[in-house]
Structure 1
Amino acid sequence: MNRLPHWIGRAFLALCVATLAACGSLPAAPERAPVRAEATDPHTPLATIAAASGPSGTQTGARLLPLGAYSLDARLQLAERAQRSLVVQYYQFEDDATGRRLLQALRDAGLRGVQVRVLVDDLYTARSQRLLLALSKTPNTEVRLYNPFCCNRHGVLSRFLASPHEFGRLNHRMHNKLFAADGAMAVVGGRNIADDYFLLGSAQNFIDMDALLVGPVLQQLQAVFDDYWNSRLVWPIAEIVPLVDGQPVDAGDFDRWIGARAPALALPGVDLLGYAPVGQDLDAGRLALHWGAAQVIADPPTKPASMSADEALATSVTMQVWGLLLAARDEVELTSPYLVPGEKGMAAFQDLAQRKVRLTLLTNSLAANDEPLVHTGYVRYRKRLLASGASLYELSPERTRADEQFGMFGKSLGRLHSKTAVIDGRQVFVGSMNLDPRSATKNTEMGVVVDNAALAQEMLRVIEVSKTRSAYRLRLRDDGQAVEWLALDGAAETVLTDEPESTFWQRLVNRLLGPLVPETLL
């Protein structure tokens, strides 16, 4: 009986504190000269290896990184071998084992003279901001925050409560992911920097996809990064977090806070595509890559601040990907953890069906979704997708635990986080964009499109593993009024008639809230 009044009291106190803090504001945007990446030095070891790995000129080399341990190791290898520059751009950079490994590698690079630039969206920096600030005190290293919060920086909710008058600005986030070294090699894709994205989390882990890239696409990636780095929406971290616990911070605090250096990563001999770790190829002086024409597609850093929702949508990464999908002639396979196509997207999917283009979609089940309200938006289109002839699959946490192709999940909850597309067995998209309204109009996104049939076949192999081993196939009941989930275990097929692996309360909440949540908020 005493819990409710106590909760109300705490909430009232928090509201009072937030209201008092609401008068805070960002410091004036600092005057600074634009910074641009230097021309790539062809004589650095990474550039030499890239040149030795395949055709020169207009071709880009790409390798998929479906295995979390390999993807993390690729970033560490680039950081350790870089001689001139590192550019690092992420939506989330956590203070956990993964984040600390990379932060140490970046600090070490700065100490040996590499020019290090780190750009992090400010939404989830409550735990990592002190280490990021200390990193910025390292020689040759700069850290900046995208669209920062002014005050009450102890958590996400407190930050929003401190600036209710700025909700419109703060609701727009930078969702890009990039790690590039010496203008010669880069890793792009869907993974943030946190344990969960590299199968090192204890509670949950994500199936995700990155790609290692070399070649002329690096110039495009660095140009995109520079546009963000020089944007008026970006502040040096020391302007936003000048003190920690009321005290100034210096480079020595980094060593004091970071703790002991983590042991070397345990890497399997090969990944599910048969590749050895990237470090072995780098040691050998040649990378195994697929080569083809490539282009970067990215939102401008001011997309949320300088455009209406309609303008943001019309020029967005989302619409550029839709353009690729609509140009398909034979087949589209797409993975998206959040699948809310909207009426325009639904019309595009139906157009594919009318032109006899095969459409396969892999997304999260309710049980696997870390954003259950987004699932309510997807459910609005699920029957129509099936009725149009789409092949629809939903990831199963339980089946994911039993499959070791992406690594050991143990008791952790398996979730899909991969944002990929394969068009006509040739074009491959890998990036940060979800197929939902937030990616279209609220967040900035980035991805790369590569044209190579062999690379596309490898992506299809990865998707097939998830579809057949870790997911349910959906179909409409004979009367077309309900959805059924099919699980194939050997020769036995199990048919389920309600959201599999979900709890009664999950289903109840979604059924109650689903009709009430505006799609634009998903």
Structure 2
Amino acid sequence: MTHRLLSRCGHWVFVIATALLFTGCATLPDEAPRAPTKAIAVSADTALGKIALASQPDPDLSGFRLMPGGDFAFDTRLQLARRAQRTLDVQYYQIENDETGRYLLRTLRDAAQRGVRVRLLMDDLYTSGEDELLLGLAATPNVELRLFNPFPAGRGSLLKRFTASLFDFSRVNRRMHNKLFIADGAMAVAGGRNIGNQYFRRTSGQNFIDLDTFVTGALIPRLGVLFDQYWNSPHVRPIGSVVRSDLPREELQRRFDVATGPDTTPPPPKPAPNDLLGYSPVADDLDAGKLGLIWTTAEAYADSPDRVIGKTASYGGVPLLDVDSVRYNVVEQMRRARSEVTLVSPYLIPGASGLEVMREIRGRNVKISVVTNSLAATDEPLVHTAYRRYRADMLALGADLYELSSARTRRSVRLGLFGTSVGRLHAKSAVIDQRILFVGSMNFDPRSEVHNTEIGLFIRSPEMAQQTLKLLDVLKQQGAYRLRFAEGSDAGASGSRRIEWVSEEGGKTTVLHEEPDSGFWDRTMLELLSPLTPESLL
């Protein structure tokens, strides 16, 4: 744990310190005008479109299926890519250069070779060292690969990228965090997962607990519009205008074929017969020609891609959230709650505004339950330094606060179905009054509120809300600590608000008085870093 903490924190300290030593600054080249392209409408002329239309009971309804299991979530994406006949619109914050990432890229390449138009949009933050791989994919006919808010230089490492963009930090600090996968204008996958081994139950050491949803029906055209807003944005560049290579197209294609071949990129294991919710793989429904889904009404929102230039509305000099932004709509749904709000955010920094929303909700006796990562479970220790400033305030408001335990998820048999040997929470969701479910990419933190762009779905379904709450109940009971004030602590006096971590296993209650599953040096390091951590940049 200490090594991970020092590694993550030290990396960013080194990036910032080194950048300050340089005065050079690279800029993006001017971009030639591009003709906009658009998502297609669903059509019975495609196999997926025919199934979608045949399954839809009402043209105003959308069909959903939650996918808590990584094996099901990845297989669904692969099935859509393999069965697509006209278009694939794919948008991700991160596609890792590992077995999962390369296998998906190869599957997209195979679809393009069948004549499918592939539009792949990636944020440029985590593409370091992947230029040749991505150029190889882009060299395939029918594939167009674009980068959101790209770095102009220093392609080999994250440090070099930020150093080369020192005087453009405000721009490159803003990233596209969206995750969306649309096939033939008929079916989609949205949620919290990036593309990489740890998101899909494919590592032996650490896996993320995450949540996606399969989507079809009335919401698909809206998702297509949201994708097009980014695809045609001036903040997006074709990879060929940012990355140069002296290799001929044929050689790039050959190297891509080798890099994504069976020797380096084995296929994923087949999904289990049923997932935690009792569903069989989506492939079974597609083979049968009829989708067994929950049909209901829903809305989708995405932040404007213009966030990259800090373009926001203001009143009296105070920035205002766009009414179409994800954060605004999550907060509005919370404010309308009548009985309870359950918030799941792996990176949780409420800030003054978030605490005020919680205070307003609790003032109406609305129950609040919050689930996030513990220090030992988080993959972003710096975020934890800011989050811990707000724990006592949330408890004082009467919120129920739970932190995921990496040790407890490792021991839990049921949580093993999430694919967690060491569990880390990555799902971003909320349940309002047991009837509205939010699933998306947004964390409840300043980065999602101000710097990153996000996407989110609001699904009006008591059944799906209950499914999510049942999954969270398992997580709380078998994989998390419940936080409370220690006996004798004064909830109103910040200096004496001592926190305890409580868990129950086998009828035995365990109470801890320090950050669970962490060592002395981890906690000491956090104490030292906490006052130095700029919350606005986390």
Q: Same fold (TM over 0.5)?
A: yes
SS in 1 for 2:305: coil
Q: Which residue of 2 aligns with 1:423?
A: 432
Q: Is the 8 A contact 2:404 2:480 kept in 1?
A: yes
Q: Is the 8 A contact 1:401 1:410 kept in 2?
A: no
Structure 1 residue 43 displacement after superposition: 2.9
Aligned length: 511
Structure 1 residue 256 displacement after superposition: 2.5
How high is the TM-score relative to the length of structure 1?
0.93
Q: Which residue of 1 aligns with 2:166?
A: 164
Deviations 1:34-54 (Å, cap 9, x if unpaired)?
111122223311122222334
Deviations 1:453-489 (Å, cap 9, x if unpaired)?
1111111111111111110111111223211111110
1:456 aligns with 2:465: yes
Structure 1 letter corresponding to 2:353: K
Distance 1:471 1:23 in 2: 46
Q: 2:534 aligns with which of 512, 518, 522?
A: 518
SS in 2 for 1:302: helix
| 1:72/1:409 CA distance change after superposition, 3 Å | closer
- The 5 A counterparts of 1:39-118 are 39-118=41-120
Structure 1 residue 412 displacement after superposition: 4.8
Q: Which residue of 1 aligns with 2:194?
A: 192
| 1:23/1:382 CA distance change after superposition, 3 Å | closer
| 1:411/1:391 CA distance change after superposition, 3 Å | closer
Structure 2 letter corresponding to 1:322: V
Q: Which residue of 2 aligns with 1:476?
A: 485
1:350 aligns with 2:350: no
How high is the TM-score relative to the length of structure 2?
0.91
Q: Is the 8 A contact 1:121 1:174 kept in 2?
A: yes
Q: 1:503 aligns with which of 496, 505, 519?
A: 519
Q: Which residue of 2 aligns with 1:307?
A: 311
Structure 1 residue 223 displacement after superposition: 0.4
Q: Which residue of 2 aligns with 1:122?
A: 124
1:370 aligns with 2:379: yes
Structure 1 residue 31 displacement after superposition: 1.1
State the identity %.
49
Distance 2:77 2:537 in 1: 34
Deviations 1:359-395 (Å, cap 9, x if unpaired)?
1110000111111111121111111111111111000
Distance 2:459 2:418 in 1: 30
Deviations 1:234-280 (Å, cap 9, x if unpaired)?
00001111217899954333213222162352321111111111111
Distance 2:413 2:119 in 1: 36
Structure 1 residue 121 displacement after superposition: 0.2
Q: Is the 8 A contact 1:67 1:407 kept in 2?
A: no
SS in 2 for 1:458: helix
Structure 1 residue 188 displacement after superposition: 0.3
Q: Is the 8 A contact 1:63 1:289 kept in 2?
A: yes
Q: Which residue of 2 aligns with 1:446?
A: 455
1:387 aligns with 2:427: no
Distance 1:110 1:314 in 2: 37
Q: Is the 8 A contact 1:298 1:317 kept in 2?
A: yes
Distance 1:520 1:168 in 2: 12
Structure 1 residue 491 displacement after superposition: 0.7
Q: Which residue of 2 aligns with 1:5?
A: none
Structure 1 residue 228 displacement after superposition: 0.4
Structure 2 letter corresponding to 1:28: D
Q: Which residue of 1 aligns with 2:10?
A: none
Q: Which residue of 1 aligns with 2:4?
A: none
Distance 1:504 1:205 in 2: 25
Structure 1 letter corresponding to 2:499: V
Q: Is the 8 A contact 1:242 1:248 kept in 2?
A: no
Q: Which residue of 2 aligns with 1:331?
A: 340
Structure 1 residue 304 displacement after superposition: 2.9
Structure 2 residues without counterparts, runs of 5 or longer: 1-13, 490-496
Structure 1 residue 509 displacement after superposition: 1.4
Q: Is the 8 A contact 2:69 2:419 kept in 1?
A: no
Structure 1 residues without counterparts, runs of 5 or longer: 1-10
Structure 2 letter corresponding to 1:376: T
| 1:376/1:117 CA distance change after superposition, 3 Å | same
| 1:127/1:204 CA distance change after superposition, 3 Å | farther
Distance 1:409 1:450 in 2: 23
| 1:182/1:383 CA distance change after superposition, 3 Å | same
Distance 2:420 2:185 in 1: 40
Q: Is the 8 A contact 2:48 2:84 kept in 1?
A: yes
SS in 2 for 1:508: helix
Q: Is the 8 A contact 1:18 1:162 kept in 2?
A: no
Distance 1:451 1:428 in 2: 6
| 1:245/1:366 CA distance change after superposition, 3 Å | farther
| 1:216/1:244 CA distance change after superposition, 3 Å | farther
Q: Which residue of 1 aligns with 2:501?
A: 485
Q: Which residue of 2 aligns with 1:7?
A: none
CA RMSD of aligned residues (A): 2.3
| 1:49/1:454 CA distance change after superposition, 3 Å | same
Structure 1 residue 404 displacement after superposition: 4.0
| 1:220/1:404 CA distance change after superposition, 3 Å | farther
Q: Which moved further from structure 2: 244-253 or 78-87?
A: 244-253
Q: Which residue of 1 aligns with 2:7?
A: none
